[in-house]
Structure 1
Amino acid sequence: MSVPQSYDVSLLDDERYRLLVDSITDYAIYMLDPEGKIASWNPGAQRFKGYEAWEILGEHFSRFYTPEDRLARAPEHALRMAATEGRFEREGWRVRKDGSRFWAHVIIDPIWSRSGELLGFAKVTRDLTERKRAEAELRLSEEKFQILVQGVTDYALYMLDPDGRVSNWNSGAARIKGYTADEIVGKHFSQFYTPEDRERGEPNRSLETARREGRFEREAWRQRKDGTRFWAHVIIDAIRNEDGTLIGFAKITRDITEKVEAQKALTQAREELFQSQKMEAIGQLTGGVAHDFNNLLMAVLGSLEILKKRLPDDPALTPLLDNAIQGAERGAALTQRMLAFSRRQELNMQAINVPALVSGMMDFVQRSLSASASVETRFAKNLPHVTSDPVQLETAVLNLVVNARDAMAGGGTIVISAEEYFADKNVERLKPGRYVRLAVADSGEGMDEETLIRATTPFFTTKGVGKGTGLGLSMVQGLTEQSGGKLDIQSQKGKGTTVSLYLPAADANDCPQSSEQTMPSPAATPIGRLTILAVDDDALVLMNTTLMLEDLGHTVIEAYSGTDALKELRSGAHDIDLVITDHSMPRMTGSELAAVIREERPGLPVVLATGYAELPTGGDNRLPRLPKPFSQNQLEEIIATVLAGGR
């Protein structure tokens, strides 16, 4: 009997189906009977569930479920849902033969006979563990990223849609810009810009640059919710998908106001340091030039004095000599200003009664003023004395009065005032303590900010050519700071100027009286012929000193250095009565020479000839000084004073 053709085809289809199912290894495909027992098993099921066919056929499929799912009767629920709904699909944890778990995607379909009888279930399971792990890692990464973004408080990090509306908002943005996420998400980012930037179209220009070039970066002013402004560093990056379509912008904003202010402060500090170094260099240069110039003036003035004495009284020559002497004296006055600026001028520090000092010079002050200018004095009662050099302080006040006069072209009133001032904490160039504020105020044209900054700069002047040296205020500042105080200038254009000298209150214990008050009058002690050792490394100065001393009738032994002077003293060839030595000499200064002489010849008087106080630390500041350039009269007076003090 032959087999029907339809039967052959059916067997062939079944065989093909079996081969297809058995060749699938990425899916577990097997059959369940109506009670859930396993009726077939393919290689894919064997591969990732771990059971051979003979081990699992006839067993209930619930053994693939976790204990907690079995306890919840999940297997029965799955079959019931498949039977009633026609399909069951879910993802969940499943258990392999070795007890390990995997994440499975499960589909259960019911199988019905033609008569509607439930024959069983077709079950397809796929191992999605790797995908599950990748999704978990991605989710964890996204969560970490969100935590990171939200945790950043120094930067505003947020997204914009292609039109520039805010789509998310981190805590840094809330802190810096002042808006909460509810207030700003959905709003256009242009509201962070200043009104003037919005008028210029800056928001749209920045987005267009980012859209065209992929990135926009700039620093500019931005505005917070409360209207205050901050200096921002802004970056906008264009975000595109895989096909290049723009999906929005990533925006990063940082408030760098403090950084910019710190940079400005650093720049200002550097400029101030540079200015300080420059002024120190100018001071050193000025002091050195003034010292050398004093030596030259010493030779000129001394020689002119001797020449005037020795020449006959000739009406044609005498005015020329007087004019030359006057010019050299003006040069000496200029060097005094230069030395005062460089704070290398020798000061005769005394306790000064400021009202008495100003009152004593009022006649001279009045003669210095024009007919349209007047001067008033206003002094507080019971002012303490101040510590300074009275002669230099008079000169400083006169300088300020003359400056005030020149500032009032149409006339006006100059007010000289003094009051007590207490510095209870460190302020610029002024230590805590008790001071007297001596001020000269005018109602003149005043100074603009640029002029005020440069007012004390040496050689800077607003006066015409030949009307000012530019050293007046520099000299006043040098004197004030050398006295332990400070100079302050307050001025506004069109509202006048007030220059204040803060001078430390005098302490009687720290302020010795001047030598003129403690030594006998030179006239009371006649001077005979002396043998004087003159020491100076400048040949012109030494020759000039020798001429003046010899003209006074003294015998002079010359030495060009401290070492030469000691050799002369130790030789005993001459009975030396007095040593006059320059202070600033190489290898051995005049003060060092005086210290050796004090050790070897204690009774021998020494006079220092110097243009400024530059004794080394530990030097004897009580040594008598002869300021350069000195005249023959000054030379004679210091000799008489020193010898009278010695006796």
Structure 2
Amino acid sequence: MKKLPDRLRPGLPRSVHAPAAVVLVAGALLSLVLGTVVQAAQRRSADAAIDRRAVSAQATASAELQRYVDALRMTADDLAAGPDPTRAGFEEATRPLEYMRLRGATSIMFIASVPTGGVAEAQRLWRSRGATGLELTPAAGHDEQLFVVLRRPLEDASPSPLGVNVAPVAEPAGALRRSRATGAPAVSDPYVLLRDRTLPKARQRLSFVLAAPVTATGGEQAGQLRGWVVIGVRGADFLASTVSWAQRSDLHLTLEADGTEVVRLGREHEGMPYRQVSVPVADRRWRLTVGTELATLTGGGAHLGAVMTTAGLLVTLLLAVLVNVLAGARARAHAQVEAATAELRRTEAEARHQAALLTTVLDTIGDGVAVVDETGRFLLHNPAATAIAGTPDDMEDPADWQSHFGIFTPGGDPFPTARLPMVRALAGRSSDQTPMVIRGPARSEGTVVSVSARPLELPGGRRGAVAVFHDVTERTRAEERVRSSEERLQLLLDGARDHAIVMLDTEGVVRSWSANARRLTGYAEEEIVGRGAEVLFIPEDIVAGEPRRLVREAAATGRAEFEGPRVRRDGTRFWAHCILSAVRHADGSLRGFVMVTRDNSERRQAAQAIEELNADLRRLNAELGRRVAERTAQLQEQAERLRHANAELEAFSYSVSHDLRAPLRSVDGFAKMLMLDHSGTLDESGRRYLNKIRDGAQRMGQLIDGLLAFSRLQRQSMAFRPVAMDELVAEAWRDLAAERADRDVTLTVGDLPAAHADPGLMRHVLTNLLGNAVKYTRGREGARVRVDAVTGPGGRVVYRVADNGVGFDMRYAGKLFQVFQRLHRAEDYEGTGIGLALAARVVRRHGGRIWAEAVPGEGATFSFSLHPDSDDLPTTEEPAHDAAA
């Protein structure tokens, strides 16, 4: 600003300074208020950030602890369903835990309760069950001794010997007694392991145990306590691996159980904010404290309020000076005009700089950008758009865009001109992520792009449109490869009932060995894991390089097959059919192979036997009876082997379903964190996609829970006794009180004869049928449910559950009792499609049948009989009515 001439400086009236004073006072007040508001907003942002971190840590720790409890419950169920525990049975039941990566878990143990006077007898008993060298020593002053009689190390390289008596140790003994009283898993108070108490105080770390009772479920011992399954966990190792991001120097975590500190991670700092959350652990709730550096939180360490206040005061002071100058004299006004002219030049230079920057950005980004006017003439398109279009020539007529640029739908049809995103944008309608394929002479295979377009207001009141083209070819092909891999894996699992499944690494070395593989080849898992798969090939094929050829072919094409002789451990040969499938990572890189082998020896022998039988039949008709008997015996033996293979596959499916729940919880948890942290930066479409991800993960979790129940039901033993069906109906109706809340539902129970059945399983059937009746009468005024029984031919009892609900079309009744099959939309009626399948399986295990009859809009009746030999009830030849089909 130019200096005023001396002749203009004196003689200014005092009123000239009044506007500057008003500006100064008002600006100062406004700056103080604005700084206070911004400071408060920063504090709220920091509080929200620490809350999100606490919720994230709580969700992660809860999900991981629940996985430990699920593993414990699964092992207890396996030991409860079988005979008395032995060392071999315990090893088999706990084998899946080696692959579940239970970080911090030292070992899993079986603890037996022994009265003080029966220690010697218990020692002989458990030695006979495989606990070789077991030595039991009673503790004085305890009527009940609690001995570790079986143990499998998990992450403990040097486990303590068998025979440890935990009765004198209050913490684990208390957890055992609580789990026995409640019949559910329990967690102990934290304590120092007996083996660690000899270490220096600084090296001692707190641990805890999870215990679940093993109660016999069948036979004469039903309801009797066999002992406890116990998992020992080191608190520090567990939390460090579960919340791995807690190792950052700005974060502090503390896990406490009833006031006792289990583990502390990270360093505490002065002024660090904390949040405390509750974490469920079996039958207790522990407290997790999360602290973080204030400076690392959004708005936590900044002093934006003070900065804005200071800046506001400075701006106010400048405005006051400016007003004072403008109110001064004509010379000051002239100087201000010159300053404004200089500012205009600077603004013009900045505008040119911004235009150059925009041009540079458009030239360097990978997405294509194009702008057209109302006639379709291209005003702008960047190099990426030209590369995606495959031609540098423009076409001004929108009607010729499809043929000129070669635009097709993903299905291969020409893309309709009226639906082109740019055409829709010219008509005033926006488009988001429209998929299309651009195929031209330079791109015969086609480029898959996702196009978003918006209307655009051009200078002079003209209309136009802008479109962004994103090349998604590689992503689409990767998704197709993933879907192809999933389909192949599903086919592999569906056909695994009588197959041996082996996992190989990228070099063809065995990494996983199934029970069927051991039965088929004679090699135990510890003998074969780590060795090359060529050990199963005959010498002639090894010399010919057949094993390496299969690996190369599978790696190149994704699949390779082999049929021919294989060799067992004892040197005998069998005729095998082998499929080697490649397993790939999400990025397409090779992860390993799955080898499925089937013994076709019997099939070949059967074919040869049939040929010989047909030849001999014409000559030796008298030998027909003997040969038929021999063949029948062979088929019975083969059926028995198939039954064992089916049982092993069911156990495998149970384990796979169980391991899927942990990553699903992670998907749901991280989607929730993404919604909390970034919902403000996402548009409505992004938030809707996140909600769909969470809904899908939660529904998948429900389906997996149903599959676990479906698998567990097949293994559950049955205890038949006389059952009062009317009492079971009353108990099931009480269980459905929450579903009937605020509804007018009338239950009528007729005369129900007693049944000879398993009471627990039969209650499950009635609960499912009554629950369906309550659910599908929703929306009915005066909903009615009736349970009665009729006597069929031969004096057989048929139980019926009828309702006046929505009913269903009898053409689709065959789907009712199949897993995941539903006749109504999921958004209208909740459910997983497993309840009726479970009910049908229970009825079949009782030797009976279940069927349904309905009229759309008038209701449905479900009937079942517990007698297997009825000639007048629906049979397996009537799949539309009978679940036995």
| Smaller-chain TM-score bracket | under 0.3
TM-score (norm 2): 0.20
Please identify the structure whose Cα radius of gyration is greater.
1
TM-score by length of 1: 0.27
Of Structure 1 and Structure 2, the greater helix share is in: 2
